[in-house]
């Protein structure tokens, strides 16, 4: 059920994102339009990253199934990939928000990467 909800929400937010980017400018959209833009971008990235993580994990498990290892890889559930994607989808949105204020230097980029690493470690420890 969760994959259907994520896919539907992601496709709907992609449509909203396309409409906002096509028919408005930042001046015309105002604060509410920018909020809609950032939320729809986040939800679009959320769906894309969820399905990407889930699919890549399944491919890796499938290709390593024939290898003789002590502890074989187990497939990740979609819920777990969704948890990681909630954190990872915030990264591009934060970078876009930072870029809208001023240009991004390596310092800001590294801070966002550090935040993503800490958040992924938290998710991996909390939800295993």
Of 24, 47, 48, nearest to 36 by C-alpha is 24
Segment 117-124 shows an average pLDDT of: 94
Segment 48-77 shows an average pLDDT of: 86
The pTM of this model reads: 0.87
Q: Cα(83)–Cα(101) distance, rounded to whole angstroms? A: 29
Residue 109: pLDDT above 70?
A: yes
* Model pLDDT, residue 68: 66
* Model pLDDT, residue 17: 93
pLDDT digits (tens, 9 = 90+) for 14-59: 999 999 999 988 788 888 988 999 999 999 999 999 999 999 999 9
The secondary structure of 20-85, three-state, reads HHHHCCHHHHHHHHHHHHHHHHHHHHHHHHHHHHHHHHHHHHHHCCCCCCCCCCCCCCHHHHHHHH
- 16 CB-near residues (< 8 Å, 6+ apart): 36, 40
Mean pLDDT of all residues in the chain? 90
* Model pLDDT, residue 113: 96
| Residue extents of the structural domains in the chain | 2-126
Confidence of residue 66 (pLDDT cuts 50, 70, 90): confident
């Amino acid at each position: 059920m969760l994959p259907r909800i994520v896919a539907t929400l992601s496709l709907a937010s992609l449509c909203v994102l396309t409409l906002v980017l096509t028919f408005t400018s930042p001046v015309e959209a105002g604060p509410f339009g920018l909020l809609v833009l950032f939320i729809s971008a986040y939800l679009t990235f959320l769906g894309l990253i969820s399905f990407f993580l889930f699919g890549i994990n399944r491919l890796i498990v499938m290709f390593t199934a024939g290898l003789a290892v002590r502890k074989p890889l187990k497939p990740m559930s979609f819920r777990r990939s969704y948890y990681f994607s909630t954190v990872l989808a915030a990264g591009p949105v934060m970078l876009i928000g930072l870029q809208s204020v001023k240009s991004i230097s390596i310092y800001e980029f590294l801070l966002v990467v550090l935040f993503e690493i800490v958040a992924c470690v938290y998710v991996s420890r909390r939800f295993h």
